[in-house]
Structure 1
Amino acid sequence: MQATSRDHSHWQRYVFAMAGMATIDFCFTGAYVAISGNAHVLGRAIGLNILILILLNGIGAAILFRPVANAIQCLSSGLPAKLPSATRRLRHLHLYSTIWAFCVGLVYCAAAFGSGVFLIAPQATTTLVPTEIRVFAGFWFSFAYATHFAVYAYFAALDQTETVKRHLFENWQVRFHPGRAAIGPRLAIVFLVLTLVSSAAILLDLTLFVDIRASQGLSTQQAVMLDVIATETAAILCLFFISRTLTRPVVFLREAMRKISQGDFTARSPIASDDEIGQLAYEFNHMAAGLAEREQMRRAFERYVSRDVVELAMDRENRGDPRAAGELRFATVMFCDISDFTSLSENLAPQQVISLLNDYFDKVNAPIRDNGGIVLNYVGDALHAAFNILHDDPNHAQHAVRAALAIRHVTRITRFGGSHIMKTRIGIHSGPVVAGPVGSGDRIDFTIQGDTANLASRLENLNKETGTEILISKATRDLIGHAEGTKDDMSFIDLGTHAIRGRKSDIDLFTLGETRHLA
């Protein structure tokens, strides 16, 4: 009920805004009475004001707004709405309102001046003022009044149109296309009209309308004062709505920009105006949609590779060199593989295997990430990680071993998929690598190359022969031993020298003893 009442208020606000023409006339009449002292005209003037400028004008305004009001009411009630007719009416509402206000102004002036409301002695006026002057004066006053009403209605309707467009956009995502209007010519025409009408009124009061104004109880000076007051009143009311129609769409746009800057890439600005600001809002929404798509792609990309790799790839893509030469780094490389996963997966459906691996990788990735490493890729049930690749980490060997201990702890206490125990074999080696993007023009992977990575992979596989879960090369062990405050945190077991398949020289290997879990 509250939403329905709020939606109905748009109709009321538009009707009230159009009836604001009565305010202009009240100001005109009040100024006339104050200057001339003819207070007896107030009763009849107010009567015509209420009958024509409020009632007749209000009825016409309600009819003009009916397609929009019906669409809002249907949308609020969840019923099918005739949006095309409503959007067409909103697109031209300010023009229809201008025409209607001009016509109402002519009717009001015909009734007021035709009945002699503002004449002190109508019969004397008929005798003293030539007929052609009286007819011309009637046409002129009617045109001047109607023009002031029309200019007011133009901007008042624009203001209400912007409010309704924003309401439709925010509540039902009704989108409008920007129009072709221009702010400069629109304002120039309005101020030109007001200036010309005011200047012409003053010139006529100084020449042809001296007797007409005298019959209204006004001297020439008083008539000029009334002309100035009338024009200033209309200008002030118009400027009020002009400022709103210009500044409010900018406020909408600024609010959407603020949300975008805070990471809300779903934010859009309503296209409320039909001028350059509306076109700017349209372009902003187009840009925001591109940013949202890019952010969606980035988040999807991060599900497959590290956030740091994503940022590096985007940076190189922005620089136009996605396959820049690799960088030589001294890193610690880790390979992880699940023991006997092939036999385990033989008894599971493919969907169960995928679910089990996802659960496993979620648990295993966390220690690597928390210790500053990045996961470079997955191969079946194995993963390839590295430390000190994208960000400088002088304790990369220590962090890699801490990650290995955390992974061993997690795999021992966790039932993956709810019931499965999966032990992990880990190989760690430190040495020089070349890190960088590798691939074709349409597909690139960030990886590392070099003997260090090959040896880490060999150590992971060698766990089968040594009966261990973690194998660490002497190079990594020496780096940890030289790091201050780290040697006593880990229990190393010397496994002696071992031959490595594919290598000519043997290397010294270590494993990790049972120690408290390192966070």
Structure 2
Amino acid sequence: MTAVTDAAAHEDSGPVVRRYYLAMAVPFAIDAVSLASYAAIYRAPQILPPMLALSAAFLLVGIGVASFFLIRPIRRFLAGEVAFAEIEQALTLLPLRSCAAVALCYAPMMALRLLSRRLDIQFGAMVEMPTWFDAVSTFIVVTSFTVLVAFFVVSAYLDLLCEHIFATRGVNLHVFHGRFRRKIAVALIFVAFSGILLLSADIASYHGERLVREATMDVVASVSGTIFIIFWLNHALNRPIERLDHGLRQVAEGDYGVRLPVTSDDEMGHAAGRFNEMVEGLGEREYLRDTFGKYVDKSIAAQILDDRRGMGRVTDITAEATLMFTDIEGFTGLSERLPPSRVGELLNAYLAAVVPVIQRHGGVVNSFIGDGLFASFNLPLPCEHHAAAAIAAALELQRVLAVHPVDGVASLRTRIGINTGTVIGLTVGADNRLSYTLLGDAVNIASRVEQLNKRFGSRILATESTVLAAGATAACERLGETDIRGHLGEVVVYSVGLAA
């Protein structure tokens, strides 16, 4: 949606208001064409000027005055004089009030035209006086047709008006008291019975040449009217559906910023309003997923957001995984020499270089521990050759840190410990504070192995379980068995890559 200035919006309101007057002039245009056809059929052009004058008095002057008062509150809103809430009701009722105005002006004009000969009024009189049955039938059908057309024409105008208001003011309708099915039902009932009523009146009222003439006129009028009404029904149905379809396709492409104008007070407008609410919810959900994924791995965030029954808990999974712990050598001394803000900048730059490497090899960073981190391969994100992936990630991590200085500091040496074993991924904590973590002896061993780098003077240490699972015994140096604090029995460790 493009934002515009108030001045530009006010300049645009003139053509929008004039379109309403044009829409309300449609009854006169239809009547003028009908009168011209009538005069041509009866070969009586002399009746056309007085009948057009009568039509102009009722359908141009009368409807024009009513239109002025109906559009006035909307014009004031477009001019910035009143708030949208003050004119929303008038906006939604514009088609109904407009067709009521048309009925109030058209009905007396049509009655005067049909009864003029009976009342001995020559001005605007018809060529032949109709029977009472034909007069009543014609009055009902022609007046109903004109009012119905006025309703759909003004509804089409309302569609454009609401679209303009949404584009320039960013506001939508929120009042839905209309029913689209009622509009369709009234139109279909009229189409089904209007022609039958007119022909029935002709057959019951006339015979001979006049019957043929009257029936021909009514058949042509009924067919023309049916085509006209179907056109406006199609317009009223297609535009909202096409707009909704376009919006859905944009959402399917990942655009959660799309919003639709609500252009009617019926089910179509309600559907557009619900669409906007849905897209807003999807946008918030995507924002939450993206933001949540920065604090928790996106695979975990997706599980939490998708599984509402879990009450924010990820399903517990037990599987074999490869665990990695890292730690920056000499970071404590570095923290003493640098101000806290500089330490924070340095640590963030370091993690920005390390995390993508782990993720590129299929690993998941579970948590940051001071100047180090805890990552896992194959849980919670599946990784087929997780042991080999962890070793490859560790080697690339060391190469990246050796070649590219971190935030201008080239001496950030990192120690890495890797172990493979069975762990469980689960949610721990209280109802109002949860955390996803991996638990098991394999996790403890990986953490202790990282610390053993100090004893062996190495940069990357991996346990035998990892080296065997990765098939990397030839590329790693066996350092022998060692005891692990908190673990029963000794563990065989290997140095991966070159020793420090």
- Give the alignment's TM-score, normalised by structure 2: 0.84
Count of aligned pairs: 487
CA distance in structure 2 between the aligned counterparts of 1:480 and 1:224, rounded to whole angstroms: 93
Query: What is the CA-CA distance between 1:400 and the residue it aligns to?
Result: 1.0
> Which amino acid in 2 is paired with 1:252?
R
CA distance in structure 1 between the aligned counterparts of 2:70 and 2:312, rounded to whole angstroms: 59
Do the aligned partners of residues 418 and 47 (structure 1) sit closer, same or farther apart at CA in structure 2, a change above 3 Å counting?
Answer: farther
The residue aligned with 1:387 is: 377
> Which amino acid in 1 is paired with 2:88?
T
The residue aligned with 1:104 is: 105
CA RMSD of aligned residues (A): 3.5
The residue aligned with 2:392 is: 402
Contact 2:63 2:105 in 1 (8 A): yes
Determine which of 161, 165, 170 is the counterpart of 1:164. Answer: 161
Determine which of 207, 210, 233 is the counterpart of 1:242. Answer: 233
Bigger mean CA deviation after superposition, 388-397 or 108-117: 108-117
Residue 508 in structure 1 maps to residue 477 in structure 2: no
Query: What is the CA-CA distance between 1:327 and the residue it aligns to?
Result: 1.8
Bigger mean CA deviation after superposition, 229-238 or 291-300: 229-238
Query: What is the CA-CA distance between 1:188 and the residue it aligns to?
Result: 2.8
Residue 184 in structure 1 maps to residue 175 in structure 2: no
Contact 1:178 1:278 in 2 (8 A): no
Query: What is the CA-CA distance between 1:441 and the residue it aligns to?
Result: 3.8
Residue 276 in structure 1 maps to residue 267 in structure 2: yes
Do the aligned partners of residues 386 and 9 (structure 1) sit closer, same or farther apart at CA in structure 2, a change above 3 Å counting?
Answer: same
Q: Percent identity?
A: 28
What are the ranges of 5 or more consecutive residues in structure 2 without an aligned counterpart?
A: 1-6
Determine which of 20, 38, 43 is the counterpart of 1:37. Answer: 43
CA distance in structure 1 between the aligned counterparts of 2:472 and 2:327, rounded to whole angstroms: 29
Contact 2:251 2:258 in 1 (8 A): yes
> Which amino acid in 2 is paired with 1:492?
C
Q: Following superposition of structure 1 onto structure 2, how do residues 264-413 of structure 1 map, counting pairs within 5 Å?
A: 264-317=255-308, 322=313, 324-329=315-320, 331-413=321-403
> Which amino acid in 2 is paired with 1:508?
V
The residue aligned with 2:15 is: 9
Bigger mean CA deviation after superposition, 144-153 or 422-431: 144-153
Contact 2:203 2:211 in 1 (8 A): yes
Query: What is the CA-CA distance between 1:454 and the residue it aligns to?
Result: 0.8
Q: What is the SS of the residue equivalent to 1:468?
A: coil
Do the aligned partners of residues 109 and 370 (structure 1) sit closer, same or farther apart at CA in structure 2, a change above 3 Å counting?
Answer: same
Contact 2:323 2:442 in 1 (8 A): yes
- Give the alignment's TM-score, normalised by structure 1: 0.81
Query: What is the CA-CA distance between 1:426 and the residue it aligns to?
Result: 1.0
Contact 1:336 1:425 in 2 (8 A): yes
Do the aligned partners of residues 188 and 308 (structure 1) sit closer, same or farther apart at CA in structure 2, a change above 3 Å counting?
Answer: closer
Residue 498 in structure 1 maps to residue 475 in structure 2: no
Query: What is the CA-CA distance between 1:340 and the residue it aligns to?
Result: 2.8
Q: What is the SS of the residue equivalent to 1:303?
A: helix
The residue aligned with 1:224 is: 215
Determine which of 241, 254, 263 is the counterpart of 2:245. Answer: 254
Query: What is the CA-CA distance between 1:202 and the residue it aligns to?
Result: 4.8
CA distance in structure 2 between the aligned counterparts of 1:357 and 1:68, rounded to whole angstroms: 59
Query: What is the CA-CA distance between 1:180 and the residue it aligns to?
Result: 2.0
The residue aligned with 1:77 is: none
CA distance in structure 2 between the aligned counterparts of 1:316 and 1:235, rounded to whole angstroms: 53
Contact 1:31 1:226 in 2 (8 A): no
Contact 2:362 2:389 in 1 (8 A): yes
Query: What is the CA-CA distance between 1:256 and the residue it aligns to?
Result: 2.0
Contact 2:402 2:410 in 1 (8 A): no
Q: Following superposition of structure 1 onto structure 2, how do residues 135-146 of structure 1 map, counting pairs within 5 Å?
A: 145-146=142-143
After superposition, the C-alpha distances for 1:423-443 in whole angstroms (9 at most, x for unaligned) are: 222111122222333444444
Q: Following superposition of structure 1 onto structure 2, how do residues 432-511 of structure 1 map, counting pairs within 5 Å?
A: 432-481=422-471, 492-511=476-495
After superposition, the C-alpha distances for 1:133-173 in whole angstroms (9 at most, x for unaligned) are: 89x99888666544332221111111111222223223432
CA distance in structure 1 between the aligned counterparts of 2:95 and 2:86, rounded to whole angstroms: 15
